[in-house]
Every structure is written in structure tokens, then in C-alpha cells.
């Protein structure tokens, strides 16, 4: 069984260019979000806009988050932003280990440290996992198992219940719905992730984390993935920058 409430995350990445645009975008998303009954919406803006967005009012089921946190709690870390800082500015979630960060050197070890720091600071971590390529021999499954094992090392069962896992096949990110992963394959992969969780934490924990899919989610493939993908929601990149499109995705998710 999937989770009662769905979660849809807007990952704005390095967009938009101004604080004014960020506020406009948030306001437009909020408009659709207000009428949702069964869906939580999370907006992960760049750090720099968090504070001004947090000043706008929002319904209880609309949350704010960031796209990364520093690996250390505090100290001399030029250019970094700590979990404590973002918590104090209104974030309740943080994405961790997005493939675009892993591509510039973020390791599983660092991801694991950040997940722990997030929990210490009462931030819900959304840890991204996913293979770069798929092959007939199933090497991508081995890769994914290892990535999950290393990223979630040392987590307690209690923490697992608050964890969000975003399965994002890297090859499917930033394309269009036609090049996204098909719902049947998503189902196979989300079942695999649950199998790995049960190996690592016990059978009763297989479905403990909220499980999202990300990678070219658009209006066109939302319903099919919801129907067949075995997911609790989505991590949406480019489509979350277009309020009309993101609004449609939210409505489709909420109707289910």
C-alpha cells in the first residue's frame, strides 16, 4: 500500500534569476496548492530566496525546503550553508545527494553525513538515488543497492519513517516525458528499492520511507506513473518552473 498523503516536490535548481520572480512563482504554485486535499507540496528554492518566500503566507500543507546543506554542522566552510541556518530561515526539508551534486563530487559518505545532520536539525531529508545508465546484465541494480546501502548507513528505524527517497534515474533527468522512464520500469525499480530496504532494515521497514520518482515528470506522464509506478509522489524539476504545468501535475496527483 502506498502512503495516504502524496508528496510533490518542486526542485527549482538554479532558477529563477531574481527574488521577485521567485516570489511570483511561489505565489502561482500556492494558488493551485490551496485547493489540494490529499497532497503535500514542497518548494525547494535556491538558498537565497528562502527567507523572502518564507515571509509569504501559505497553507499548512505547503512546505519550504532547500536543495543541499553543508556536510559540517558549523565552522570555517567558505561558501557553504548549514542545516541550522536553513532550518532557522523556514525550511523543513532538504534534498540531499541530487545527481547534479553527485556529478560534481558529492560522495555517498558525504550524503550519509548530511542525512544525519538534517535529522539532528529537524529537517526531513529527501535523498536522491539512481543509476546513471542501465544495462542488460543488471549492473545498475548492483549500483543502486550499493548507493542506498552507503547513503543510508547507520539510520535508525525511526529515522527511516521520516526519510524521503527520490528515485531518479540520471539518464531520464531534464528530458521530456517521452524520454522519461516508463511506469512499468519505475514499478520494477521502486520494488527493488523496497527489497533493498527490507534487506538492510528488516521486512517491516520496506515501505517506511516516502518514495518519490523524479526524472522528466510532466503533465503527460504523471497519471500513468501514479497508477503503475508504486510511488508516493514526485520530484519535479523543469515542469515546476511553469506554474500552469506544475498546477496540472498537482491536481492530477491530488485526484488519485
* Residues that are catalytic: 98, 168
* Minimum CB distance to ligand PGA smaller for 103 or for 191: 103
Query: Which residues, numbered 116-145, are part of the site for ligand PGA (CB under 6 A)?
Result: none
List 211, 235, 249, 250, residue binding ligand PGA (CB under 6 A): 235
202 lies in the binding site for ligand PGA (CB under 6 A): no
Q: Which residues contact 131 (CB under 8 A, 6 or more apart)?
A: 140, 143, 144, 169, 170, 171
The reply on whether position 94 binds ligand PGA by CB under 6 A is no
Q: Contacts with ligand PGA: how many residues (CB under 6 A)?
A: 13
DSSP 214: E
Nearer to ligand PGA, 65 or 237 (CB): 237
Separation between Cα atoms, residue 178 and residue 215, nearest integer Å: 11
Report the residue closest to ligand PGA, judged by CB: 237
Kindly report the three-state secondary structure assignment for every residue of 46-67.
CHHHHHHHHCCCCCCCEEEEEC
Q: At what angle do helices 47-54 and 19-33 cross, to 10 degrees?
A: 60
Q: Of 100 and 254, which CB lies nearer to ligand PGA in the complex structure?
A: 100
Q: Which of residues 98 and 206 has its CB atom nearest to ligand PGA in the complex? A: 98
- Position of cell 509506478? 229
The answer to the question of residue 233 lying near ligand PGA (CB under 6 A) is: no
SS3 (DSSP) at 142: helix
CB of 78 to ligand PGA, least distance (A): 26
Give me the sign of the Cα torsion angle 191, 193, 194, 200: positive
Residues 3-22 that bind ligand PGA (CB under 6 A): 11
Contact between 65 and ligand PGA by CB under 6 A: the answer reads no
**Least CB distance to ligand PGA at residue 162 (A):** 20
Q: Does 173 contact ligand PGA by CB under 6 A?
A: yes
**Residue whose grid cell is 520572480:** 21
Residue (173 or 225) nearer to ligand PGA, CB: 173
Q: Which residue bears the cell 553525513?
A: 113
Cell for 226? 501514479
Q: Which of 238, 246, 247, 249 binds ligand PGA (CB under 6 A)?
A: 238
Phi and psi at 24, nearest 5°, equal -65, -45
Give the separation between CA 102 and CA 145, rounded to whole angstroms.
Answer: 16
Which three-class secondary structure state does DSSP give residue 105? coil
Q: Does 67 bind ligand PGA (CB under 6 A)?
A: no
147 binds ligand PGA, rule: CB under 6 A? no
Applying CB under 6 A, does 169 fall inside the site for ligand PGA?
no
User: Residue 44: which H helix or E strand, with range?
Assistant: strand 39-44
Please tell me the distance from the alpha carbon of residue 86 to that of residue 88, in angstroms, as a whole number: 5
- Of 31-39, 152-160, 197-205, 229-237: span binding ligand PGA (CB under 6 A): 229-237
Residues in touch with ligand PGA (CB under 6 A): 11, 168, 173-174, 214-217, 235-239
Amino acid at each position: 500500500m502506498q502512503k495516504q498523503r502524496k508528496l510533490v516536490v518542486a526542485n527549482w535548481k538554479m532558477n529563477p534569476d531574481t527574488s521577485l520572480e521567485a516570489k511570483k512563482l511561489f505565489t502561482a504554485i500556492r494558488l493551485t496548492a490551496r485547493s489540494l486535499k490529499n497532497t503535500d507540496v514542497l518548494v525547494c528554492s535556491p538558498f537565497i530566496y528562502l527567507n523572502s518566500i518564507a515571509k509569504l503566507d501559505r497553507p499548512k500543507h505547503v512546505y519550504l525546503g532547500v536543495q543541499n546543506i553543508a556536510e559540517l554542522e558549523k565552522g570555517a566552510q567558505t561558501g557553504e550553508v548549514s542545516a541550522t541556518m536553513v532550518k532557522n530561515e523556514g525550511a523543513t526539508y532538504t534534498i540531499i545527494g541530487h545527481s547534479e551534486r553527485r556529478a560534481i563530487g558529492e560522495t555517498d559518505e558525504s550524503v550519509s553525513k548530511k542525512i544525519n545532520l538534517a535529522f539532528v536539525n529537524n529537517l526531513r531529508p529527501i535523498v536522491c538515488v539512481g543509476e546513471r545508465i542501465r544495462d542488460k546484465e543488471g549492473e545498475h541494480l548492483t549500483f543502486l543497492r550499493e548507493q542506498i546501502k552507503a547513503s543510508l548507513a547507520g539510520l535508525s528505524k525511526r529515522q527511516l519513517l521520516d526519510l524521503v527517497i527520490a528515485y531518479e534515474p540520471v539518464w531520464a533527468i531534464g528530458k521530456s516525458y517521452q524520454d522519461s522512464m516508463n511506469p512499468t520500469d519505475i514499478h520494477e525499480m521502486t520494488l527493488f528499492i523496497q527489497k533493498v530496504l527490507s534487506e538492510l532494515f528488516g521486512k517491516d521497514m520496506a515501505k517506511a520511507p516516502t518514495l518519490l520518482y523524479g526524472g522528466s515528470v510532466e503533465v503527460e506522464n504523471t497519471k500513468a506513473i501514479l497508477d503503475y509506478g508504486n510511488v508516493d509522489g514526485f520530484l519535479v524539476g523543469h515542469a515546476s518552473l511553469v506554474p500552469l504545468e506544475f498546477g496540472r501535475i498537482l491536481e492530477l496527483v491530488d485526484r488519485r
